[in-house]
């Protein structure tokens, strides 16, 4: 069974984390998200994957190679320019020869793919769209179906009075290759605004597959933080590296934790990390490889990628640090703040309310307080 994963988007909503790292390659609990996805697909019976790459394409080649370590046949195909979601699959049409799974590369889900395939076959569907219920349908594109699950209508961000369903497109599809005859070649073309409305017109069978499987889009800052929380509290199954050293505290390889430091799980600590005297690390928190957490630092609900250095007394809450940042003493970072890579902040800065710092930002002592 073949799958196409769409990984060519620029991930603008997640900037600055995506300035140097494409969104599907950003770490979730210290492992590139796409690696987890490839393993999950392999375990669910997919043996050949086509990655439709564009933005920062080399990073996929460099990290994933030929896919042999995932026991998958992997093709990495680069578009000459962004073709949009449907246009990207059209670009790899020559590699398709039967019903094909298509995944958005930024969706974390434990959807049962075999059950979806059985449904697709039973309905003799041409396009099957996975659907998930949401609490606030006004923020999404809704999919209306008849009693037989055949798609009748798409409703983009409807007004409250127009809402007839809470089921939204969950970003996993099974598509018969002949449907790509409706997609114009060498053009930017999307599923939601292009191919799917066309298929409603042509009358080819398009069905919705509702599921209550775990589902979240990792592509927004708060959902990126929240999905870490969900993994660490066990709401979704996700294998991460590390051995448990205390109640819900995992260490991957060797880490140095001072006896006076307080670590309250769920916390994952990457290889080579150092946590100094009197530091408090409260879960859910992830500390990347080689991070240094200085004396008396206080971390809670934080995600640190590798190589960050925190001087004494840094406070970090509900925020993300990219790679190799240096954070000066007693600086406070909170409220969904995101710091890109290779930033250097002096002492006693205060960053809150979702501030974002672009890679290589340099700030002196007491330079920011808001
Ligand atoms: P934002 O800029 O934050 O909207 O992110 P995005 O464009 O990366 O993601 P979006 O949610 O809009 O797209 C869904 C999936 O399709 C993501 O996994 C993207 O990587 C992928 N994608 C979007 N546009 C393209 C494209 O032009 N080519 C390819 N190959 N993939 C795309």
Residues 323, 308: contact at Cβ < 8 Å? Answer: yes
Ligand 1 geometric centre to CA of 278 (Å)? 43
Contact 120, 207 (CB under 8 A): yes
8 A C-beta contact, residue 309 and residue 326: yes
pLDDT at 156: 77
Structure tokens at 32: 């590139």
Q: Are 328 and 343 in contact (CB under 8 A)?
A: no
CA–CA dist 170, 143 (Å, integer):
10
Interval 268-325: pLDDT, tens:
999 999 999 999 999 999 999 999 999 999 999 999 999 999 999 999 999 999 999 9
CA–centroid distance, residue 356 to ligand 1 (Å):
21
Task: Give 83 Cα–ligand 1 centroid separation in angstroms.
Answer: 10
Query: What is the pLDDT at residue 234?
Result: 87
Residues of the chain with pLDDT under 50: none
Bridge pairing between strands 338-339 and 215-217: unpaired
pLDDT at 289: 97
- Alpha carbons 60 and 50: distance in angstroms, whole number: 12
Mutate to test the pocket of ligand 1, among 12, 83, 85, 90 (most ligand atoms within 8 A of CB): 85
CB of 50 shorter than 6 A to ligand 1? no
Which tokens hold the place of 15?
């900037």
Question: Is there a contact between 112 and 100 (Cβ–Cβ < 8 Å)?
Answer: no
Atom 13, ligand 1: residue with shortest CA distance:
9
Q: pTM (2 decimals)?
A: 0.93
**Residue 370 pLDDT:** 67
83 within ligand 1 shell (Cβ under 6 A): yes
* pLDDT of the residue at 238: 86
Task: Find out whether 181 and 198 touch, Cβ atoms under 8 Å.
Answer: no
- Ligand 1 binding pocket includes 281 (Cβ within 6 Å): no
End-to-end CA distance of the chain: 52
Nearest CA to ligand 1 atom 14: 104
Q: Are 289 and 254 contacting, i.e. CB atoms less than 8 angstroms apart? A: no
């Amino acid at each position: 069974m073949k799958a196409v994963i769409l990984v060519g988007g620029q991930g603008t909503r997640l900037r600055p984390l995506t300035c140097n790292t494409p969104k599907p390659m950003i770490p979730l609990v210290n492992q590139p998200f796409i690696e987890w996805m490839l393993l999950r697909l392999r375990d669910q019976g997919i043996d050949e994957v086509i990655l439709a790459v564009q933005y920062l394409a080399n990073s996929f080649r460099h990290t994933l190679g030929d896919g042999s370590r995932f026991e998958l046949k992997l093709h990495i195909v680069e578009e000459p320019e962004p073709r949009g979601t449907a246009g990207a699959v059209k670009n790899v049409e020559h590699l398709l020869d039967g019903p094909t799974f298509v995944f958005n590369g930024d969706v974390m889900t434990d959807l049962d793919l075999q059950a979806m395939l059985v449904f697709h076959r039973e309905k003799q569907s041409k396009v099957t769209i996975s659907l998930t219920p949401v609490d606030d349908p006004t923020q999404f594109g809704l999919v209306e179906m008849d009693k037989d699950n055949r798609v009748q209508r798409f409703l983009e961000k409807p007004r409250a009075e127009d809402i007839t369903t809470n089921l939204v497109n969950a970003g996993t599809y099974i598509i018969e290759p002949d449907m790509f005859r409706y997609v114009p070649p060498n053009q930017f073309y999307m599923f939601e605004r292009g191919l799917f409305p066309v298929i409603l017109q042509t009358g080819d069978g398009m069905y919705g597959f509702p599921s209550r499987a775990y589902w979240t889009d990792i592509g927004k800052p708060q959902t990126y933080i929240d999905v870490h929380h969900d993994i660490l509290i066990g709401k979704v199954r996700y294998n991460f590296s590390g051995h448990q050293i205390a109640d819900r505290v995992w260490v991957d390889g060797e880490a140095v934790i001072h006896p006076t430091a307080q670590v309250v799980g769920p916390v994952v600590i990457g290889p080579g990390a150092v946590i100094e005297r009197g530091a408090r690390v409260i879960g859910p928190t992830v500390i990347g490889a080689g991070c240094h957490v200085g004396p008396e630092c206080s971390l809670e609900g934080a995600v640190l990628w590798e190589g960050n250095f925190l001087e004494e007394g840094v406070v970090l809450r509900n925020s993300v640090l990219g790679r190799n940042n240096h954070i000066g003493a007693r600086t406070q970072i909170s409220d969904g703040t995101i710091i890109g890579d290779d930033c250097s902040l002096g002492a006693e800065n205060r960053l809150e309310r979702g501030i974002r710092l672009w890679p290589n930002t340099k700030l002196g002592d007491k330079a920011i307080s808001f």
